[in-house]
Amino acid sequence: MPDVHRPHVVVIGAGFGGTRVVRALRDADVRITLVDRHNFHTFQPLLYQVATAGLDVGDVTFPVRTLLRRHRSASFVMGTVTAVDLAAQTVTVDHGLTLAYDFLVVAAGSVSHSFGVPGVDEHALALKDVDDAVLLRNRLIGDLERASRGVLRGEPRPELGIVVVGGGPTGVETAGGMRELLDKVLAKDYPELALEHLPITVVEAGSRLLAAFDTRSSHSAAEALRGRGIDVRLDAGVDHVEEHSVHLRDGSKLDAGLVVWAAGVAASPLAAAVGTELQRGRLRVEANLSLPGHPNVFAVGDIAAVPGADGAPLPQVAQPAIQAGRHVAGEIVAAIAGRPGTPFRYHDKGSMATIGRNQAVVEFPNGMRFHGWIGWVLWLGLHILYLMGFRNRASTLVNWSWNYLTYDRGARVLARTIADRPD
Ligand SMILES: Cc1cc2nc3c(=O)[nH]c(=O)nc-3n(C[C@H](O)[C@H](O)[C@H](O)COP(=O)(O)OP(=O)(O)OC[C@H]3O[C@@H](n4cnc5c(N)ncnc54)[C@H](O)[C@@H]3O)c2cc1C
């Protein structure tokens, strides 16, 4: 039975931020309830590998209940939080459950953002969670099966090219992964479709790819993609998306079988439901990451606007969430002991993105930069290190070694017959 006399900490979200809070509170004298709409944690940086058949869903996810096994007093609720009542100190979960808290941590992350571009929600596929990644993979392979049947019926091959909108790490990695999947694997699976030179285009509204990186890394990434036959369009804003085409603001049109929307994210809608001040849609926080006027409520990760050294909100990437989660756990322990809060300080650990086999860009805050093969090996090692759970690390290592040595991708079965695009 849980000890009801101990302070109750409710954590919304089992992502990078929320799981870090829970782990850091393992030995604290508190009860914890972790709430997530999924019963697993997702390692989002490798979702594009699921979408491009390099890894299985199980490699990039980790069951929340396994994570909580080592905790004396943590429990899990699977459900979507629909409301937070700061005055009553309660959280409402979608199936009618209300949880009272002494401390609350809002770590609900972000959602894919269309920026109001017409047609995105209807005709483009996002890459934000496991369902998106599986849908993308199924859509690609399902379309090829459909095209193959059409060729047997004597019909011309339909447009199968891929347009990836967004030149950040997700867009770059997805385009590189798709090129490898098509050229090295699917071209052999579907010889009747001649997939080797299928056009893949990356569309970026800004003047360079990987805008958060040094310009040399941006150029290196663009060169590497172009070297693999990927068309990189810079300064190319998307006007609207239709079924099978992307229309740019300059009036040009890109035909596509598949449109991937990797142009950005916005804070989870839960931010607005909390009811405190927002900054660019994210929860504004005090220096110690508590919400203004609510010292027992904290926000971490993509949903929070945590100011960096220059005052601008930190980027919506994993390290700010992880470090903020650890800090908030310390704040809760300090508050229970009657100690004052301390300001959060972010330590930049660098950035990285891979373009595909033997190619990545890695930047460290001390100015060290690695491109090409060395960058790729660093990228592989650091991703293995940060994956949750030994099984996931081992399985990912085995899958990657197999893919590298054999040029094969095992995770390309259509486990469910897709009904999302009928003939
Ligand atoms: C495709 C992709 C690639 C990325 N690549 C990188 C990368 O290479 N490097 C990097 O540093 N960052 C990367 N990121 C960003 C990084 O994954 C996020 O910044 C990080 O996950 C944020 O952590 P978080 O804890 O705030 O949210 P998340 O990790 O997104 O976790 C939020 C959790 O909250 C749950 N949730 C949401 N709403 C509710 C609700 N109402 N009720 C209950 N549960 C809810 C979700 O199910 C989820 O489990 C990538 C993101 C994506 C989508």
DSSP secondary structure string, 237-270? -EEEEETTEEEETTS-EEE-SEEEE-S-EEE-TH
Ligand 1 atom having least distance to the Cα of 315: 19
Residues 177 and 103 in one domain: no
CATH of the domain at 188: 3.50.50.100
Residue 158 in any domain: the answer is yes
- Are residue 170 and residue 223 in the same domain, yes or no? yes
Same domain for 377 and 235: yes
Structural domain ending residue among the three candidates 282, 301, 336: 336
Helix H or strand E encompassing 404: helix 390-406
Q: Whose C-alpha lies nearest to ligand 1, atom 7?
A: 45
Q: Is residue 59 part of a domain?
A: no
The set of protein residues with a Cβ atom below 6 angstroms from ligand 1 is 12-18, 35-38, 44-45, 47-48, 80-81, 107-109, 127-128, 169-170, 268, 270, 301-303, 316-319, 321
> Are both 98 and 137 inside the same structural domain?
no
pLDDT for the residue numbered 422: 46
* Residues 105 and 221 both lie in one domain: no
Q: How many domains does the chain have?
A: 2
Within a domain: 280: yes
The one catalytic residue among 122, 145, 159, 173: 173
Per-residue pLDDT tens, the chain, 423 aa: give them. 456 689 999 999 999 999 999 999 999 999 999 999 999 999 999 999 999 999 999 999 999 999 999 887 899 999 999 999 999 999 999 988 999 999 999 999 999 999 999 999 999 999 999 999 999 999 999 999 999 999 999 999 999 999 999 999 999 999 999 999 999 999 999 999 989 889 999 999 999 999 999 999 999 999 999 999 999 999 999 999 999 999 999 999 999 999 999 999 999 999 999 999 999 999 999 999 999 999 999 999 999 999 998 889 999 999 999 999 999 999 999 999 999 999 999 999 999 999 988 999 999 999 999 999 999 999 999 999 989 888 999 999 998 898 888 887 877 788 765 544 545
Q: How far is the centre of ligand 1, averaged over its atoms, from the C-alpha of 273 (Å)? A: 18
Q: Is 150 found in the same domain as 106?
A: no
The residue whose CA has the least distance to atom 36 of ligand 1 is 108
Q: Among this protein's residues, is 173 annotated catalytic?
A: yes
Whether residue 301 is contained in a domain is answered as yes
In this structure, the answer to whether residues 244 and 385 fall within a common structural domain is yes
Which residue in the block uniquely carries the two structure tokens 């997700």?
170
CA distance 77 to 108: 14
Residue 32 has φ and ψ, to the nearest 5°, of -125, 135
Q: Quickly count: other Cβ atoms within 10 Å of residue 249's Cβ.
A: 12
Distances (CA, A) of 383 to 36, 47, 124, 297, 392: 24, 12, 28, 31, 11
Pocket test for ligand 1, best of 21, 134, 317 (most atoms within 8 A of CB): 317
Q: Using CA atoms in the order 126, 105, 392, 76, what is the torsion angle rounded to 10 degrees?
A: -110
pTM score: 0.94
Whether 15 and 108 map to the same domain: the answer is yes
Q: Is residue 418 part of a domain?
A: no
* 67, part of any domain: no
- Give a yes or no: residue 95 inside a domain: yes
Residue 416 has a pLDDT of: 63
Same domain? 255 vs 312: no
Strand 245-248, strand 253-255: pairing: antiparallel
Contacts of 92 (CB under 8 A, 6+ apart): 81, 82, 83, 84, 85, 98, 99
Give Cα separations from 139 to 124, 125, 135, 162 (angstroms): 11, 9, 6, 12
Asked whether residue 311 falls in the same domain as residue 402, the answer is no
Task: Give backbone dihedrals phi and psi of 167, rounded to 5 degrees, phi first.
Answer: -105, 30
Distance CA 38, CA 12 (A): 11
CB 236 within 8 A of CB 101: no
The sign of the dihedral angle between the CA atoms of 166, 169, 172, 173 is negative
Q: Are strands 230-233 and 245-248 parallel, antiparallel or unpaired?
A: unpaired
Structure tokens at 239: 């006007």
Clarify whether residues 257 and 288 are in a common domain: no
Token duo for residue 350: 């660098």
Q: What is the pLDDT of residue 149?
A: 96
Cα 46 versus chain centre, distance: 8
Residue 166 lies in a domain: yes
Whose CA is closest to atom 8 on ligand 1?
Answer: 45
Show the domain range for 99: 8-37+79-112+266-336
Count of all residues that appear for the chain in the document = 423
Ligand 1 atom closest to the CA of 352, numbered from 1: 8
Q: Distance, CA 18 to ligand 1 centroid (Å)? A: 10
Structure confidence at residue 404 (pLDDT): 85
Same domain as 191, residue 141: yes
One-letter amino acid of 43: F
Cα–Cα distances in Å, from 340 out to 102, 285, 290? 17, 16, 12
Q: Which atom of ligand 1 is the closest one to the Cα of 47? A: 1
The answer to whether 209 and 386 are in contact (CB under 8 A) is no
In this structure, what CATH number is given to the domain that contains residue 293?
Answer: 3.50.50.60
Whether the CB-CB separation of 55 and 392 falls below 8 Å is answered with: no
